[in-house]
Chain A
Amino acid sequence: MQEALGRCVASWCPGAAGVTNVARLSGGASQETWSFDIGHPDGVIGAILRRAPQGHGASPRAVGLDVESILMQRAFDAGVPSPRVLHVLRPQDELGTGFIMARVEGETIPRKILRDAGFAQARPRLARQIGGILAAIHGLDLAQLPGLRRMTAAKEIDEMERDYRSFEWPRPVFALALRWLRERDPGPSREVTLVHGDFRHGNLIIGPDGVRAVLDWELAHGGDPMEDLGWVCVNSWRFGEIDKPVGGFGTRAELFAGYEAAGRRVDPDRVKYWEVMGTLRWGMMCCGMMQRFRIGPERSIERAMIGRRSSETEIDLLRLLAPRGK
């Protein structure tokens, strides 16, 4: 790995003097992430390689790493906190498909961001800042971006219904939520924008100064901009701080204020609708993890246990659709 990376870096980074500290970061199932340092006379350059393992079939929802690198670069150019893309892999690099980006220092682990003293100054500001970042993402010109799939609430419900049937495991709460979503579908959004699709804890690098980078554009698509605002409010991303709907650190009012301060409008009813959709979507994803555990070949206990988190989304759906004591 070190050798191949060294050859690759030498081909596009003038003055590069080899790579060191090559380390595999996450055990992501669909993609690999590697961290390494590029030796350079002007100082060490921290870098990240994101690539698809050889021969791995991508999810039909995923945009592909080539598109991801373009989105990340466009977001960077538009002032969205984003890692700079340094190089897109070519066949002669012999590293598979993917890209190399600048490493951004900071934290992605939610519990640290929500509890550590080092982030105490950032926390009260994050929801508003995130509103501004989402407004910038939604302001990118969709016509200038590579072809992305278009999603609507109706299509999303169809996909989830298909997923749900494929599990062959009865879940009355999911059936109730699917029905609720169909009956209240607000119709296609008047404005169709770039939607990040997975804007939440884990995909944001945060420092004591706030959000430093938005990662993981794998699920990007064209659609209702309110989807991103609803997804970031899903209870599963509050990590115990359930009274602070935005990522466990802020209020909807702060999120909306940051969004509108950037010159865009919020539709709170649509945001709420997408929060219900997102809660069910995460529940379906948990069930999908359980399927992958069962099918193998990798019988990951972690995936099996994520399957047992689908009930968390059931209680959250009931809290949204059938609150008690009211």
Chain B
Amino acid sequence: MTTEALIQEPEAPKQGRRASAEAMGAKQRDISVSEFFTKNRHLLGFDNPAKALLTTIKEAVDNALDACEEAGILPTLDVTVEEVSDGRYRVRVEDNGPGIVKEQIPKIFAKLLYGSKFHRLRQSRGQQGIGISAAGMYGHLTTGRPVVVVSKIGKGRPAWRVEVRIDSRTNEPKQLNDKNDTVTWDKDHGTSVEIELMGLYRGGRTSVDAYLEQTVVANPHLELSYKPPKGPLVHFPRVSELLPPEAQEIKPHPHGVELGMLIKILHESGRKHVGQTLMEEFSRVTEAVANELCKRAGIDPNAVGSRVDAAKIEALHAAMVASNAALPPIKKFASKVARSDTNLREEVLEEGTGFSPTLADLVIRRAGLEPTLKAKLVTPMMVEKFYAALHESQVKILPPPANCIVPVGEALVMEGLRRRFKGEFFTSHTRPPAVYRGNPFVVEAGVAFGGTLSKDDSADVLRFANRVPLLYQPRACAIHEAVLKVDWKSYGLQQRKGELPVGPLAIFVHLASVWVPFTSEAKEAVAHYDEVVREIRLALMECGRKLGAWVKAQQAERWETQRKSLFEKYIVELAASIHSITKVSEESVKADFHNALPNHVRIAVAPVEGSAPAALEGAAEGAAEGAEAPTEEATSAGDSSPPPPPLRGAGRPSEMPPELSDDGDGNPFEDVTPGNKRQLVLKMRPKSGRK
């Protein structure tokens, strides 16, 4: 018994359950989204007071810009941040947008997941319709003050004043003031939002100031006035009078569609035919394309979509993504396979692009082969069969239409960078549209270099998604990753492995897409899709190449200038000696040497002053395409500067034996011919061109 007493019996389960299904059922109810976000406000970017302040401004500015652009109005924004009391800020963002109809004002500013942008595939800053309402909610939560909106939709119309707060339990707006409140407003149309919140104003990379400065970079058509809590009003004038073209709404592209999505689309298509559904739901699918796709998948285009079985849908999916797949040149692939220790499927996935394992298997089987076939046993004949099978599986589908994406544009990216940085060199590159998961996107990159940018710091990376600056979580962002993946050393910069390049460099990357793949709803970082990282990298490399060429040319020019001044210095002495020996007048000797000097020094033509930035870029491009003479812009624009002197004696003087030319210790101009020298110079920014 004693032993029994020592061993404690496990407590017997209580009779009956702790809660009945009925009791539990009574507790189970809808969770209002606003309740959810009250508890999880970090998901929306309100984790701390500093971030809350920034997010609030960001959401208001994003909305204002989207509204202006959609209405075709050049945006003029006034942002005011004022510290009402310690830690309590009043944020006001006023735009000249189209205004909001009276009835919609409460819902837009005080109902989560309400908006016009969620239900369509179209490039815009906001996406889900959460942001501004969440900001209002945060403000109310911390200060008890409602959102105050003033909006006017046209001349002669009333400017409605609405005080509104969200009911976080029901996710419904609650207007607090009289529904007919109006104010007098000198603006013809526009909207002003005022939110009071507990926040923290500070400087640095993630500051309100940084966000607005970067917004200005990506939005050259924006005129912005900003009154910070401390310090004077900052005004950024408009640099481009051109409104970005309106982004078109599009449907997903077949190349990037996921199987689950295709299944959903077909199941929800009701009684429609498969072919019909494909044409309606996807962009670039014509009747011919739809029929071809069905044929490859062994489906009758006239079959009812919702009745197609899973295996056939999988085949259809493979057919849709197959045409995005690509392989290296056949000989290269064959020789790689012959040396491989893996199997055929692995090799296809490794060497090809756009292959999923399913697609790889499908095409391999179609070629009459086994995916697990040892790569070494694959004969050149089999490789040929496999290539033929891929070719047969591919249906030509046009790339997504580019009009759905509105990049900033190369010229304006450079203008934006110029507005922000006092650099010496600017360049940019816009990639052609590409697709991830069926969503078309465009990447553009730009760099600013030299000037007042810090030489000893890491490059300043400005990340943008649909023209919105991304300030937080750089390390979690695909843009950051892509910047690291570029070998900046080959462009004359310093870079430690796995780190940002060091030098007087600012890097601009803009991802424009109908649906930006953010890592979270806080929209802080771009998710790491291979296609996205790849496009960013390619765009950066293009900028890097141009930068590298410029840096090299600069170096060469510095060298030559150094050489020239060295010769000029000694000519004075030499002329005195030669005069003393020969009695030829000193001035005449000097002149003789100065006349010969250009034959032995290749100093570049000075950059032309005063040409318009756009023309300058055009000139640079023209020259890059191999124009030999200076382009028209270059010669005609600068009437004050003398025409460039002809570059005589381009190469090293022929009478000089090669081993006696300047020693090979880093003399960089051996391969700089006058032709490409001029091109490089033309890319330089005029020193006092723009006001």
State whether these chains interact. no
